Amino acid sequence: MRVSNKHKIIVYSLLVLFSLYFLLPFVWVILSALKTEVEVFSYPPKILPDIPQFHNFIDAWNSQPFGTYFKNSVIVTVMTTLGQLISCSLVAYGFARYDFKFKNFLFILLLATMMIPWDVTMIPLYMEFKLFGWINTLKPLIVPAFFGSAYYIFLLRQFLMNIPKDLENAARIDGANEFQIFYKIFLPIMKAPLILIAVLNILLVWNDYLGPLIYLQDQSKYTMALGLASFKGLHDLQILPIMSMTLIMIIPPVLVFMFAQKYIVEGISGSIK
């Protein structure tokens, strides 16, 4: 059934209106961060600054060791993403492509862990990490990622279940071992869902506040989320520094999402080229 041009115009107009609605707060933050204190509190509100105050970002960044916070966030985000990709891809590959005893039971048991709220395990995990001597280090934020996530494993397993067995059987006939089959055949096929998992994990870890709040004590170990919360406490009534640092905080996830959005759609739809 062909869609008329009139219907297309209506649909696209509605989409543009919704996009503007969701983009408006982001645009307002950008414009506010470039204003002076007088312009921010002026009435009626001024939309555009007379002279963009780019030094607001530099002043806010230098007011606290945000360079250290940023470095810690990058380390935690990169390492946890790497850990999730390695562990989840291997476990999902095992569940999807191999038959072994208690396979279905173990998979159901894995999925059952998703029903346990993180609040329930928070205290036992803290006690465990304290026993290991990991409190006030980045290890509690990084190491658990190398043991995988039930949701990511489920996502990859469902993707791998759609791949015919003939592909790996042909590779075995050609003399490929199990690791070569996984590394040279299945990893390239899993590119889209792996990127999807990487993006989801980056967004989750970059914005994580509660984890660093529980395990980190020294300011030199703070991540961006924890450092920004501390910064807001010190500048409770100062709009410009808060707007500037909030904008800097959200730029990396936005860039990651923009560059990976094509693979996000492919990963969700489960398409195989």
> Each residue of 122-158: pLDDT tens digit?
899 999 999 999 999 999 999 999 998 999 999 999 8
Rounded Cα gap, residues 87 and 244, in angstroms: 37
Q: Summarize the confidence of residues 194-215 as an average pLDDT.
A: 91
Is the pLDDT confidence value at 270 over 60? no
| pLDDT tens, position by position, 20-40 | 888 888 888 888 888 887 877
Q: In terms of CATH architecture, what is 59-269?
A: Orthogonal Bundle (1.10)
Domain ranges of the chain: 1-53, 59-269
Give 160's DSSP letter. H
Region 70-99: what's the mean pLDDT? 93
Per-residue pLDDT band for 164 (boundaries 50, 70, 90) equals confident
And the tokens for 269? 């739809």
User: pTM score > 0.95 for this model?
Assistant: no
Give dist(CA 103, CA 97) in Å, integer.
11
- Given a cut of 60, is residue 80 above it in pLDDT? yes
Q: How far apart are CA 160 and CA 232, in angstroms?
A: 45
- Using the predicted structure, report yes or no on whether residue 90 has a pLDDT greater than 90: yes
Please choose, from the candidates 232, 254, 216, the residue with its C-alpha nearest in 3D space to the C-alpha of residue 76: 216
Provide the pLDDT for residue 273.
47
Backbone angles phi, psi at 270, to 5 degrees: 75, 25
Using a pLDDT cut of 90, give the percent of the chain over it. Answer: 32
CA distances (Å), 48 to each of 8, 27, 35, 149, in order? 33, 11, 8, 45
